[in-house]
Structures are given as structure tokens and as C-alpha cells.
């Protein structure tokens, strides 16, 4: 990675950090605290990343370095860790824990990476409770204490996430000598990078007529802001009835899709270095040539006040960064077994932007060591998957092709009363699930298929969390499983017979190898006494619960429980909806997904709850 790419990413200045308002995201701080507790006997080092807007610096991510970090390896580790974040997530500083703050000068280079700012944040923990933040001057080695506040506010609400895609051709000579092969690959990638810096390369904004280049713009002015372009896209999307450019969730930035274009002509006064007549270099000989088409799918965050002229180098850097990642993989290949590269994005709950990686394989079984390293680097628990194939984030333009069902229709629904401190606990389903209900998939199961639909919702949860790549089964496939395990007669397949919580647990175990707890309640009135058990389930397992009683089945997505007063509410997803228009407002307003009181349950019916136990694996 060249130094110019480093320096242009840094938004820190040589002003004193004490002049900035420093804050750290709560989730990031909690991960740092947990790491220091788990490795209390070991010294801990890593990097801090975040955003600088005006006079505010917010630390949003941290990368743990699972080895003794010294000045000699600082640059290598810095580059490797930063490549997973979008351009616009800047390096803020370093963190140290369970060690003496005096070790900082041994870790942070003094002169080897001069493009980095002279001043950076140094977070130090000498016990598992209190973090101290310092301004560290790399030149004088001085440490000055800084005030840092904890925040839950998303600092990227005024940013737009740009998703830039293209395919580039990379060609280089094969060699049996590893050093020569690496050199050829690096030279080929550098040539592609140089071509992308040409004035003939333009960026076309999808769902608009805006095209922007280094020195020109079509459909807009170079002085127009990102915020104005987002408004243009949203206006066009509203006219077309699509959602391009809209926010995917309340915690995410708006997303704009960009394509790399090539201008076929240049102006006469252009400074572009392309020759005006073809020049051919002829070198006779035999060589084995490696020719690859490498897909790029890059991410960059830009503030809404960023002009289009300022945006172009940001998008360019996102391409360069991903090309360097691809080059790292290709240049370390030996022989003629050249991998097919792919770009995967993972949007982890609690993180404000996706994590992006270039991969040379897509098989989960081949990526166990890599997944572990990513969990360790980002300080994520090892008891749930974050980086499996099923965890790959699908941007809105892609997700509509994957599932016709609504995802997480409970988002945005709040309790009717405002809770004060000490007034009970609210626990919700973890992660994502799909809303399955009557009449979907062109299949009429009205009045008999509610438990099947609830089971489909449960299985969708395991799919979307990355535990399985198995498809959500149809009613007939569910029935066939129950016949295969000996629970039902063969005549059950193709029938309209109901199933209950026990059958749901059988299918989960057979198809997903997931065990479940079955909780029996003698009457609907007794469900109010199960508040503690439900709070514990959603706190530890986080899976949706299928509940069946009388002639109805529902899915429980969460619970509010006050152990002082006994007050309880249930967040219910109702599979009995027969309307095929997946209108979120209608579903929420009409109570198909919403909070229900204890009297929602039939006092004269008994209930069984199927409570899936989440596999403890990554």
C-alpha cells in the first residue's frame, strides 16, 4: 500500500486533540472491556477506528492484534486491519491494556509512517474497569490525558454509504519462481490502479442521470453535495416505486449504488497520458499468461456536505484498497491453481457499517480458521456465527431477489407505556428472521397451516443468522420429515392436518440439528407467570419461540416483564395474516405484529412453547 493512499484517508489534523470532543461507542467500549477481562494475564494491543466530523471524534470500532505488536510490524498490521472497513472509517489511534502505558513508544512508529498524523488517541486500561484516553505525540512521545464520553448515538447519520462495483481485467506472466510471480502480479495490479486514476474513468450514480469524473460532471455540478444527490435519487425512486437510496434500517446510512464507466473520448486539451495513436511493443517468445476478471464491490462513507469533486477521490480510494486486498491473495498463490475471488460484506448488529473482505473460497468448511481470526480481531463472541455464507449482507437491490417475506417487521414497534429505570425488563429476539404467514408461496393453508408458518419463521432465523444454508421447507417437506422419523403415518403427507410445538421441535432437530426446550402451560392465564423464563430465554438464546394452544399458533418475538409488579407483555408475530401485500405499516397498525397483554391468550386452553436452543458455534 502506498503512502498517498494512507495520508488521504486520515481526517485527523495536527491541531491539539484536546480541542476535539472525543467519544467512544458503547458497544465498542464493551468489547474492549470484555477482551481485557478474558485476557487479564496478557498484555493487549490494537487499533482504534472511527470518524471525525468538525470538532468531534467518535471511536466506533477496534481491532485486536493477536500478537505482540511492535513498531516493526505496526504498518503491516495497520494496513491489514483497516482494509476491512469502508473508506471513511478512519484510524483514530491505538489501545493498550493489561500493560504499562510506557510501552506506547515501543509500539507506535516515530518516523516510518510519516503520513500518519503526529497526534493520535491512545486508550489505556490498567484494570478491567476504567479506560484512560490520552493524546499521544509521536514526535515528543508525550502523553496528555483526554476527556472521553460514552455514546450510543450513531455518528454516521449524516453520511451516505457508496457501493461502487465494476469488474477489472488483470493479466500477468506466470512464473515458477514465487518472488517473480509476486512481482508480476503487483505490477499488473498497479497498472490497473493507474488506469482507474485516468480522466477517462467516470462514476455513474444508479437511479439518476448523474455521472461524475475527476474534472467533470453530467447531470449535476461538481460543487453539488452528496446530500443533494441522495435527494435526486430518492425523488426518482419514489416516482419508480423503488427504494434505491433509502435507508435500509434506522441504524444504517442511506445507500447509493455507483458503477465505474469508461469514457471513449477525451478532450483535446486533456492532460490524460493516453497516446493519440496506438503503440505496439512486440516481444517474441512463449509465456504462460494469467488472465483474470476480478469483481470489485467497494464501500465508502461520505458526509452529506461532501461535494462531488471531493467524492471522486473517495470512491477511487475504495477501489484501490480492494485491489490491494485482491493483490495480496493473488500474489501469494503458487502454481497454476489461481483462485476465483469474491467480495463479501458482513453487517454485524451494533456496527454502523459493513465489514468487507476479499475471499478466495466460498466454502464454510474451508474458512473455519479465517472466521475464528475475524471473531478474535473484532472481539466478537465465538458462540455464534458472524462470517458464514448465510451472514453475507445483501444490499437492498439484491435482497428482494432472495426472499419475498418481510424481514424483522417488529422493528419500529414500541411499548405503549414509557418505561422508567427499574420498571421491568424488555428482551427481544436477536438478529433477523423472515415473516411467514398464510397464503404465501402461492399455497393456500388458511385455517390449518399457522404452526407450519411459525416453524418456517424459526428456520428463517437460523438461516439469516448463518447457522444453516438449508432452504426453508415447504408444508409438504415438513410433513415428510415427520413421516421419515416415524412420528406420522404416510397418509399425513399432503394432508391439511395441524402440527404442534412438539412436531416443530422434531423438524428443527432433524433438519438443522437444533434441540429445543418445550415449556408446558396449563392455561393461557398461567402464561403471565412465565416472565422470568422468557426473559432468560431471549437474554441467552435469542431465538423466536413457537407457541401453540387451542387451535392457534403464534410466534413470540420478545417479552416485557416487571418482576416487582408481575406485569407482562408479549411481542407477537401472527402467522394468520392472509393478505399477500407485504405492507409493513398495515401489519404493524393492525396488530399482526405487536405487543399483546396477558389476556391475549385463551384462558381455557393449554399451551406448549417450542424454545429453540441456539448452537454455540461460530
State the catalytic residues.
450, 574, 576
3-state helix, strand, coil in the chain (%, to 5): 30, 25, 45
Give the whole-angstrom CA distance, residue 312 versus residue 210.
13
* Cβ neighbours of residue 219 closer than 8 Å, sequence gap 6 or more: 208, 209, 210, 211
Question: Residue 589 carries which DSSP code?
Answer: H
Give the whole-angstrom CA distance, residue 422 versus residue 418.
12
For 24-82, give the DSSP string: EEHHHHHHHHHHHHHTTTS-EEEEEEEEEETTEEEEEEEEE-SS---HHHHHHHHHHHH
* Residue of 228, 236, 229 lying closest to 204 (CA atoms): 229
Q: Is the CB of residue 431 less than 8 Å from the CB of residue 541?
A: no
Q: Is the CB of residue 456 less than 8 Å from the CB of residue 440?
A: no
Residue pointed to by grid coordinates 390449518: 448
Task: Give the Å distances, CA to CA, from 445 to 292, 436, 452, 553.
Answer: 49, 12, 9, 13
- Chain Cα centroid distance, residue 604: 45
3 state SS of 462: helix
Q: Which three cell numbers stand for residue 120?
A: 493520535
> Rounded to the nearest 10 degrees, what angle do helices 475-484 and 450-464 cross at?
90
Q: Is the CB of residue 255 less than 8 Å from the CB of residue 248?
A: yes
Give the whole-angstrom CA distance, residue 222 versus residue 211.
10
* Cβ neighbours of residue 608 closer than 8 Å, sequence gap 6 or more: 500, 501, 502, 518, 519, 520, 521, 547, 548, 549
Give the whole-angstrom CA distance, residue 252 versus residue 408.
15
Helices and strands per DSSP (H, E), number in the chain: 14, 23
* Residue of 528, 542, 544 lying closest to 600 (CA atoms): 528
Query: For residue 161, is it left (φ>0), alpha (ψ between -120 and 50) or beta?
Result: beta
H/E segment holding residue 211? strand 211-212
3 state SS of 601: coil
E strand intervals along 439-529: 516-521
Handedness of CA 65, 67, 72, 77 (dihedral sign): negative
Q: Is the CB of residue 176 less than 8 Å from the CB of residue 51?
A: no
Q: Which three cell numbers stand for residue 340?
A: 476465483
H/E segment holding residue 503? helix 501-512
* Cβ neighbours of residue 4 closer than 8 Å, sequence gap 6 or more: 115
Length of the chain: 618
Amino acid at each position: 500500500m502506498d503512502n498517498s493512499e494512507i495520508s488521504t484517508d486520515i481526517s485527523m489534523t495536527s491541531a491539539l486533540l484536546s480541542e476535539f470532543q472525543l467519544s467512544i461507542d458503547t458497544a465498542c467500549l464493551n468489547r474492549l472491556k470484555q477482551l481485557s477481562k478474558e485476557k487479564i494475564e496478557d498484555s493487549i494491543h490494537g487499533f482504534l477506528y472511527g470518524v471525525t466530523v468538525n470538532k468531534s471524534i467518535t471511536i466506533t470500532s477496534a481491532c485486536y492484534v493477536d500478537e505482540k505488536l511492535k513498531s516493526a510490524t505496526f504498518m503491516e498490521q495497520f494496513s491489514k486491519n483497516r482494509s476491512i472497513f469502508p473508506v471513511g472509517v478512519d484510524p483514530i489511534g491505538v489501545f493498550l491494556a493489561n500493560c504499562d502505558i510506557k510501552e506506547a513508544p515501543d509500539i507506535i512508529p516515530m518516523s516510518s509512517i510519516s503520513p500518519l498524523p503526529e497526534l493520535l488517541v491512545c486508550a489505556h486500561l490498567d484494570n478491567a474497569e476504567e479506560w484512560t484516553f490520552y493524546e499521544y505525540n509521536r514526535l515528543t512521545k508525550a502523553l496528555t490525558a483526554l476527556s472521553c464520553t460514552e455514546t450510543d448515538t450513531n455518528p454516521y447519520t449524516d453520511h451516505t454509504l457508496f457501493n461502487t462495483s465494476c469488474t477489472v481485467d488483470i493479466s500477468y506472466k506466470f512464473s515458477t519462481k514465487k518472488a517473480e510471480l509476486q512481482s508480476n502480479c503487483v505490477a499488473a495490479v498497479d497498472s490497473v490502479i493507474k488506469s482507474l486514476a485516468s480522466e477517462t474513468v467516470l462514476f455513474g450514480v444508479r437511479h439518476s442521470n448523474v455521472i461524475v469524473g475527476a474534472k467533470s460532471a453530467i447531470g449535476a455540478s461538481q460543487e453539488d453535495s452528496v446530500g443533494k444527490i441522495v435527494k435526486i435519487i430518492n425523488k426518482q425512486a419514489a416516482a419508480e416505486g423503488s427504494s434505491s437510496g433509502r435507508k435500509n434500517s434506522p441504524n444504517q446510512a442511506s445507500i447509493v449504488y455507483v458503477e465505474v464507466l469508461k469514457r471513449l473520448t477525451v478532450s483535446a486539451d486533456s492532460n490524460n497520458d493516453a497516446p493519440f495513436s496506438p503503440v505496439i511493443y512486440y516481444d517474441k517468445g512463449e509465456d504462460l499468461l494469467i488472465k483474470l476478471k476480478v469483481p470489485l464491490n467497494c464501500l465508502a462513507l461520505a458526509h452529506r456536505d461532501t461535494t462531488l469533486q471531493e467524492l471522486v477521490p473517495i470512491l477511487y480510494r475504495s477501489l484501490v484498497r480492494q485491489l490491494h486486498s485482491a493483490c495480496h491473495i493473488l500474489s501469494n498463490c503458487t502454481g497454476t491453481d489461481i483462485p476465483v475471488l469474491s467480495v463479501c460484506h458482513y453487517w454485524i448488529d451494533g456496527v454502523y457499517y459493513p465489514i468487507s473482505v476479499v475471499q478466495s473460497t466460498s466454502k464454510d468448511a474451508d474458512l473455519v480458521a479465517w472466521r475464528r481470526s475475524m471473531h478474535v480481531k473484532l472481539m466478537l463472541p465465538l458462540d455464534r456465527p458472524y462470517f458464514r455464507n448465510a451472514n453475507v449482507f445483501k444490499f437492498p437491490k439484491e435482497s428482494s431477489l432472495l426472499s419475498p417475506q418481510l424481514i424483522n417487521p417488529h422493528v419500529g414497534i414500541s411499548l405503549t407505556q414509557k418505561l422508567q429505570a427499574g420498571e421491568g425488563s424488555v428482551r427481544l429476539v436477536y438478529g433477523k428472521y423472515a415473516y411467514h404467514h398464510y397464503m404465501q408461496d402461492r399455497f393456500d393453508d388458511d385455517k390449518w397451516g399457522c404452526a407450519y408458518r411459525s416453524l418456517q419463521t424459526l428456520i428463517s432465523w437460523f438461516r439469516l443468522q448463518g447457522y444453516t444454508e438449508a432452504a426453508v421447507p415447504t408444508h409438504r417437506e415438513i410433513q415428510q420429515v415427520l413421516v421419515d422419523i416415524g412420528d406420522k403415518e404416510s397418509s399425513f403427507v399432503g394432508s391439511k392436518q395441524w402440527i404442534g410445538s412438539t412436531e416443530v421441535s422434531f423438524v428443527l432437530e432433524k433438519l438443522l440439528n437444533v434441540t429445543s426446550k418445550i415449556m408446558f402451560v396449563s392455561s393461557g392465564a398461567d402464561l403471565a407467570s412465565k416472565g422470568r423464563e422468557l426473559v432468560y430465554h431471549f437474554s441467552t438464546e435469542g431465538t423466536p419461540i413457537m407457541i401453540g394452544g387451542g387451535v392457534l399458533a403464534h410466534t413470540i418475538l420478545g417479552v416485557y416483564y416487571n418482576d416487582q409488579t408481575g406485569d407482562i407483555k408479549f411481542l407477537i408475530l401472527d402467522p394468520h395474516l392472509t393478505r399477500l401485500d407485504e405492507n409493513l405499516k398495515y401489519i404493524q397498525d393492525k396488530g399482526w405484529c405487536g405487543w399483546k397483554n396477558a389476556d391475549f391468550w385463551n384462558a381455557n386452553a393449554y399451551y406448549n412453547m417450542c424454545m429453540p436452543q441456539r448452537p454455540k458455534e461460530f
